[in-house]
Amino acid sequence: MMTQHTLNQLHHLRLSGMATALEEQWTLPACHSLSFDDRLGLLLDRELAWRDNKRLERLRKQAKLKYAGACLEDLDRRPGRGLDERQLATLASGDWIRQQHNLLLTGPTGVGKTWLACALGNQACRQGYSTLYLRTPRLLEQLRIAHGDGSFGRTLQQLAKVDVLILDDWALAPLEENARHDLLEVIDDRAGLRSTVLTSQLPVDHWHGWINDPTVADALLDRLVHSAYRIVMKGESLRRKKTEEEAAS
């Protein structure tokens, strides 16, 4: 009865990892010969590991990554893709997030921009940073609706708190006037405080023209491009290549 009471108390204190480890210790004879300090140390280690795993699980769920399984370990590093190993190592370390720098991923369709962005998002989750993936057209639609239902301010606050915001398909379609100002609000709230990842088929040098408002463009790009890491991805479409390989097999 005492053992069950102890387990109940641990669960009540939200020490589920420790409770599971304690049950295992009771069933393993080898643990019975350990000192109290050694057994307590093992219980604490398990609790910390359990909490880390739960936090990672929660961060990944909240991130809503398009490619949830993408990770840097599986990145295709073949020559000709425009990837620099030293730059990738810097990004993998998370220094760019700690320094509140942005990342601009550009290149033609199908070269893996979104996949790499999601892999970096997963890496950010591993390091304990909150992450959120959104397609830019969908974000603009959400902001348009938020204006109508009165939740615009709250939506901006939520976006401003995300450590790594991934905006996919940036500069995919022409911008309306309201959308320009909405994007500026989102980016301005994050500038110098949080990191933003943009993926775009359009080269950075053409973004000013895409925004199509010199004043807003200057303000927006000054906040995005300054001190940002850039990766210009190259090569053939990985989607087309995969389709051709499947057809040939």
**Chain segment 91-126, per-residue pLDDT in tens:** 999 999 999 999 999 999 999 999 999 999 999 999
Asked whether residue 110 falls in the same domain as residue 46, the answer is: no
> Do 57 and 68 belong to one domain?
no
Question: Side by side, which strands form the sheet with 164-168?
Answer: 131-135, 164-168, 195-200, 103-106, 229-232
Side chain identity at 168, as an amino acid letter? D
What CATH number is given to the structural domain containing 153? 3.40.50.300
Rg of the chain over Cα atoms, rounded to whole angstroms, equals 23
Residues 58, 112, single domain; the answer is no
Judge if 46 and 80 occupy the same domain. no
Same domain, 111 and 134: yes
Task: Specify whether 136 is located in the same domain as 192.
Answer: yes
> pLDDT tens-digit profile of 174-226?
999 999 999 999 999 999 999 999 999 999 999 999 999 999 999 999 999 98
Position with higher pLDDT, 38 vs 1? 38
pTM (predicted TM-score): 0.81
Express each pLDDT in 128-177 by its tens digit. Answer: 999 999 999 999 999 999 999 999 999 999 999 999 999 999 999 999 99
Same domain, 101 and 194: yes
Dist. CA 6–CA 20, nearest whole Å = 11
Q: How many Å apart are CA 170 and CA 191, to the nearest integer? A: 17
- Is the model's pLDDT at 19 over the cut of 90? no
Is the same domain home to 181 and 223? yes
Shared-domain flag, residues 151 and 166: yes
Place of tokens 């140390």: 41
Residue 168 pairs with which residues in a beta bridge? 135
Residue 33 sits in which domain range? Answer: 2-62
